[in-house]
Amino acid sequence: MTDLLKLPVSSLKLQISQTDYSILSDNKNTRATNILGQERAQSALGFGVAMQNPGYNIYVMGEPGTGRLSMITNHLTPISHSQETPPSYAYVENFENNREPVAIELPAGQAQVFCKDINRLIDNLIATFPEAFESPSYLQKKTAIERTFNQLYNSAIDIIEQRSKEKNIALFRDTESITFAPIRDNKVLDEEQFNQLSQEERDTFHKDTEALEDSLGDELIELPQWRRALVEKNRQLDNVTIRMAISPLFKELTDRYQNIDNVITYLSEIKKDLGETIKDLFVQTQSLKGISDSTKKQLLKDQYQPNILINYKENTGSPVIYEPNPTYQNLFGRIEYSSDQGALTTNYQRICPGSLHRANGGYLILDADKLLNSPFVWEGLKRALKSGRIEIEEPYSELGINTVTLKPEVIPLNIKVILVGSTEIYYLLQDLDDEFNEMFRILADFDYDIPRNADNMQAFAQLMEQQAHDSGAKPLAESAVISLMEHSCRLAEHQQRLSAHINDALEIIGEANFLCKSTEIDSSDIEQALSAREYRNGRIAQSILEEMLDGTILINTSDSVIGQINGLTVLEVGGSSFGAPSRITVTVYPGSRGIVDIEREAELGLSIHSKGVMILTGYLGSCYAQEFPLAISASIALEQSYGHIDGDSASLAELCCLISALTLTPIKQSFAVTGSINQYGEVQTIGGVNEKIEGFFKLCKGRGLTGEQGCIIPQANIRNLMLKQEIIDAVANNEFAIYAVANVNEALELLTGESVGKKDNNGEYPEDSLNFKAISRLKEISDLGHDKDEDNNEDNNEDNNEDNNEDNNEDNNEDNNEDNNEDNNEDNNEDNNEDNNEDEAES
């Protein structure tokens, strides 16, 4: 039977032959654009992309490193190129309320053109003004307006001047005021001469001057009206001049953008606003004296130049955007600020787009984990998808400092969002967010591994070749591709499946390329890269192995011991995992405590491990204790284990060790065992079978291979074997062995060298079999417990009888006392009555 359970070399690893299929594509220049082997996910992705109804966004579920992002991008890129290019957007000044910038929609490719046209308009304005205000026609009209005003003014002054002459008073005009002075002998008196006049003459002069000033006021009473008329006529002249000067400049623009309503509206608003702006910059030159044309141009650009939010080139298709850091501002856009005298100020030119703007009209790919870790982003994204518009706003209620805030006009949102995340996040969102299923109705579920069929192997080989070429690595030989494929099967832990962790294979190509000394990468380079990686990550594994070899960690690989067995474990440290044997011991003694899992009692054993131990009781009861009560006390421990333990892969070893301790049958320590069992003793598949075997092999190799050492694994795990070549060579040379078992009995016979026995027609096992010994031992323990129960019952009966006798005696004593008391009372009453009667008679 031992030879039947021993695995041949051909079962230990999948050997891929180049003759099995055409390893490389006939056309090596064809790029791998399809999702590798992920037909289900690809179908869901295609349906989600084609479905344009609201809410059909996509959640891509799978493990990191499976190439989800690159696969999604490769799938979307050709689709997006065939789709219509979305419109571009720009923000412009709102001349009615500058805190609410206006969004302008432009056809694809027109945003940059429109921006250049506005820039050209500004250049033309600077070239046109102030020359337009220096033309002969303008100056002539302006002079005529001023002449009219001066005529009215001078006419009023002339009247007062004539009256002053009649009173021998001179009238002097200057730019600021009008003054009067006395005249004597046709000469104007100075102040000294005026003081020499008599008091009467001086009083007369003052009186006449006051009268002239009153008359002047009467004549110039309409002066403010004349001045207003002057200003109005000058304003009208300036407006007409500006309008006539800029009309040709705008004619070309309005003709070019006549089919874009919001652009025509904006040009009209600019035209209205330019009147005052041009007068400020070019007419009122006194206040702006010395300002250069470049400064004027910048002032005009700050006021009129569009802020291009997003500009798509024409006929480029819809955008495919991946946002690696989905913070609120990176996703929804932001408003930048500048410091002005301690306060933060801003304008429409400082509005910056987010990923939603860049992906609008196309596809936005987001990492679900990063998205949920960014404050306010998830709620903001849901709000945008529900409302169908992008709103740039500050997510925080307060900035803590004074700011000038903007409220830009919202932009319509038409987008397909693709969330890339883990299985845990998907189901977490389903459970905690009722709106999630309404917005992400498509699930693209990426498999952890894919079938190793001819199509997938062909696609795998093509992808490896393509990635090597794209990364600048040396060409891959066919042997290198085969080695990568075998490594992929090892990662998938299945001979007939390839791992979906494409990134791992790509990393190996890069490392092998670094180590390669020839013109192409072959299988030896791949193996060298894998060995180098194992060495880099193997410090802890090597340390544990050395402690086993020097006896610090007790692992026996040569003797036979009762109640002791070598289990196989997988230890995970950081991003690496490795296998190592672990000693399991069992003690059995009379009692009814059941099987005690010391790891669980010490709170080191997790739930699945505890479940595996509990199954042992079920097996003992179903297999051995059908005719008597199962009463046993046993303790199971993983020796020198000081961390948390989980998984039920040690349950086969624990059961074999328990039966060994129960039957006092020694177990060969040259074996190591892994496997899970059910209550009927069937051995079930486990994970990490390759690492477990390799861990025990390294220990045996370190101590010296004897040909007696080996591993016992579940029969269901044969298809998972992808062992290293040194183990395969050792098995081929009969220095090491791998056995596959389907049930507990097969494992027991290998471990003990004894027969477990088969039931005869009476349902009994042979007396020299392990199962007979187990039943006998369990019955013996059960009988011990039964005898003890009988002794306990007898003791209980004696105690009960004594208690009953005591109770009866107490009751009898109480009854006697009551009777005596009654008799005494009656006698006393009779005596008293007799005495009383006698006394009465004597009386």
What are the catalytic residues?
649, 692
Q: Which residue has the tokens 């006798």?
A: 805
Q: Give the whole-angstrom CA distance, residue 649 versus residue 613.
A: 10
Q: Which residue has the tokens 């070309």?
A: 252
Burial of 121 (0-12, 13-18, 19+ CB in 10 A): buried
Question: Does residue 540 contact residue 575 with C-beta atoms inside 8 Å?
Answer: no
Q: Which residue has the tokens 């990176």?
A: 330
**Structure token digits, residue 240:** 């007409």
**Taking the chain, what is the end-to-end CA distance rounded to the nearest angstrom?**
125
**Structure token digits, residue 459:** 């696609």
Instruction: Tell which residue, 537, 542, 490, 532, has the closest CA to residue 508.
Output: 532
The 10 Å Cβ neighbour count of residue 820 is 10
**Structure token digits, residue 451:** 């079938």
Q: Give the whole-angstrom CA distance, residue 484 versus residue 305.
A: 57
- 3-class DSSP string for 747-775: HHHHHHCCCCCCCCCCCCCCCCCHHHHHH
Instruction: Tell which residue, 452, 441, 392, 384, has the closest CA to residue 418.
Output: 441
Beta bridge partners of 583: 566
Q: Give the whole-angstrom CA distance, residue 486 versus residue 480.
A: 10
3-class SS at 600? helix
Q: Classify each residue of 270-307 as buried b or exposed e, where b means 16 or more C-beta atoms within 10 Å of its C-beta.
A: bbeebeebbbebbbeeeeeeeeeeeebbebbeebbbbb
Instruction: Kindly write down the DSSP assignment for every residue of 781-823, as one continuous string.
Output: HHHHHHHHHHHHHHHHHHHHHHHHHHHHHHHHHHHHHHHHHHH
**Structure token digits, residue 767:** 């007396």
Give the helix/strand (H/E) hosting 189: none
The 10 Å Cβ neighbour count of residue 55 is 14
Q: Give the whole-angstrom CA distance, residue 69 versus residue 61.
A: 11
Instruction: Tell which residue, 639, 646, 634, has the closest CA to residue 597.
Output: 634
Alpha helices by DSSP H, listed for 451-563, are: 454-470, 478-492, 502-515, 523-536, 539-549
Alpha helices by DSSP H, listed for 220-363, are: 223-256, 261-278, 293-304, 328-332, 355-359
Q: Which residue has the tokens 């003014």?
A: 153
* Residue 694 CA neighbour count, 13 Å, CB half: 21
At residue 765's C-alpha, the angle toward residues 759 and 769, to 5°, is 125
Between 199-219 and 136-166, two packed helices, what is the crossing angle to 10 degrees? 140
Return phi, psi of residue 498, to 5°: -105, 140
In sequence order, what are the residues at sequence separation of 6 or more whose Cβ sits closer than 8 angstroms to the Cβ of residue 87?
105, 106, 107, 108, 312, 361
Q: Give the whole-angstrom CA distance, residue 85 versus residue 72.
A: 20
**Structure token digits, residue 653:** 């070893």
**Structure token digits, residue 436:** 């999630």
**Structure token digits, residue 528:** 């060298």
* Residue 371 CA neighbour count, 13 Å, CB half: 25
Instruction: Tell which residue, 152, 113, 120, has the closest CA to residue 256.
Output: 113
